[in-house]
A = this chain, B = another copy of it.
Amino acid sequence: MKNESRDASRSPRQVCAHGDRHASEEVRRIENAFFDLSRPNTAPRRILVEKLAELARTGEAFSTDDLWQGLRAVHGRIGRATVYRSIEQLVESKVLDRVELRDGSRRYRVCGGAHHHHLVCNTCHRVEEFQECLSVRTIEEIGRRHGFTVEEHTLTVYGTCSSCLKSGDK
């Protein structure tokens, strides 16, 4: 998680150069999530948005501690509580998805707006998205049969990714 050319900034403008092209869209989405709820454009937020845009690009899943460490490397003085508070807001506003690993620990991931679910590697903890799902009709039917009003659902597939299979880490 290096970086230098820290031009990105909060500007909802195109960035180009190092493949940051569509990152601006991501950056805007994340900024909106913050500023819908609050006003101040503070340093911690700028750094967080930047880091999350980067994580969005790689699709990396991370723990709260991973994120805290990553941010400290840039900002130094950022508090754990700030990270927790931000993650909470961002999950709430659907910028982040919370994913439960098989061992029960949690990771977060910047996820697109489209309906999707997660495929998790039990070895390296990589998380990928997929679209397949039960039909809305079927889900509603499940709720109806039990007298529930359905609000949401999660579908998570656990397994071993190809590189972990190859390297035999499995």
Contact = CB atoms under 8 A, between A and B. Distances in A.
B158 A155 contact: no
The copy count of this chain in the complex is 2
Interface string A114-144: 0000010110000010101110001101110
A98 interface: yes
Contacts of A149: 159-160, 165
A130 B158 contact: no
Instruction: Give the interface size bracket for A toward B.
Output: 35 or more
A106 to B, nearest CB: 8
A156 interface: yes
Nearest to A98: B104
Contacts of A161: 146-148
11 contacts: A128-B148, A139-B157, A143-B157, A143-B159, A147-B161, A148-B157, A148-B160, A150-B158, A152-B158, A153-B158, A154-B158
